[in-house]
Amino acid sequence: MNKELYKLPDLPYAYDALEPYISKETMVLHHDKHHLAYINGANSALEKIWKSREENTEIDYKSVLRTLAFNAGGHLLHEIFWKILAPKDSGKNQPMGEILKQIEKDFKSFERFKTEFSETAKSVEGSGWAALAFHKDHGNLAIIQIEKHNVNLYPEQKILLCLDVWEHAYYVDYKNDRPKFIENWWNLVNWDEAGRRMSL
């Protein structure tokens, strides 16, 4: 069994690279504190499970597995979230190629997709995410609304794009104006990476 623990990945750009839409302060807190906390949470749940196996003892599976799902979900979504962002004017912020074709096929138009995705993100109750997933078996795209980091997900969803609308993602920069954060976030989407994920 592979007993490797989760590790905090470096950001693929500088902390201030997403300004003016996401500040350096937000990125430092979000990556160094919040993302790290999910990694630590997931790792401690894993260690609890491994230790109980070693010692042949029982643990509260319901509670430990719930903690693991929440924290590992948080880690994995953040890992995608950093990668699918790119600084404004990086040349990666225009949807193109296969993913654009697929979006236009499944959502009728890019504008329609953008509206649906934005509304999904705006209407998350409390903390959660909007995500674009590709269903390989059906060959189509779907928007999903993830509550917390792990609720509403089901198997076979490959996430191409995700938008964090937990307050920690925008409160420093936008206070309670989540819609403004969402509007500005579109300037930062790394469509190269989203397209690459679809082709995997």
User: Of 21-29, 130-138, 159-167, 182-190, which segment contacts Mn ion by CB under 5 A?
Assistant: 159-167
| Nearest distance, CB of residue 78 and Mn ion, angstroms | 6
Q: Which helix (H) or strand (E) holds 146?
A: strand 140-147
Among the listed residues 49, 85, 77, the one whose alpha carbon sits nearest the alpha carbon of residue 152: 77
Q: Is 193 in the site for Mn ion (CB under 5 A)?
A: no
| Nearest distance, CB of residue 187 and Mn ion, angstroms | 19
Q: Which residue is nearest to Mn ion (CB)?
A: 164
User: Of 16-24, 54-62, 133-141, 157-165, which segment contacts Mn ion by CB under 5 A?
Assistant: 157-165
Among the listed residues 39, 20, 127, the one whose alpha carbon sits nearest the alpha carbon of residue 78: 39
| Nearest distance, CB of residue 129 and Mn ion, angstroms | 8
Cβ proximity to Mn ion: between 164 and 193 the closer is: 164
Question: CA 169, CA 165: separation in Å to the nearest integer?
Answer: 6
Cβ proximity to Mn ion: between 53 and 175 the closer is: 175
At a CB cut-off of 8 Å and minimum separation 6, what does 22 contact? 85, 170, 173, 184, 185, 188
How many residues bind Mn ion, per CB under 5 A? 2
Binding Mn ion by CB under 5 A: which of 31, 41, 120, 164? 164
Q: Which long-range contacts (CB under 8 A, 24 or more apart) does 137-144 make?
A: 140/102, 140/105, 140/106, 141/102, 141/103, 141/106, 141/107, 142/106, 143/113, 143/116, 143/117, 144/120
User: Of 16-24, 91-99, 158-166, 179-187, which segment contacts Mn ion by CB under 5 A?
Assistant: 158-166
- Chain residues in the site for Mn ion (CB under 5 A): 164, 166
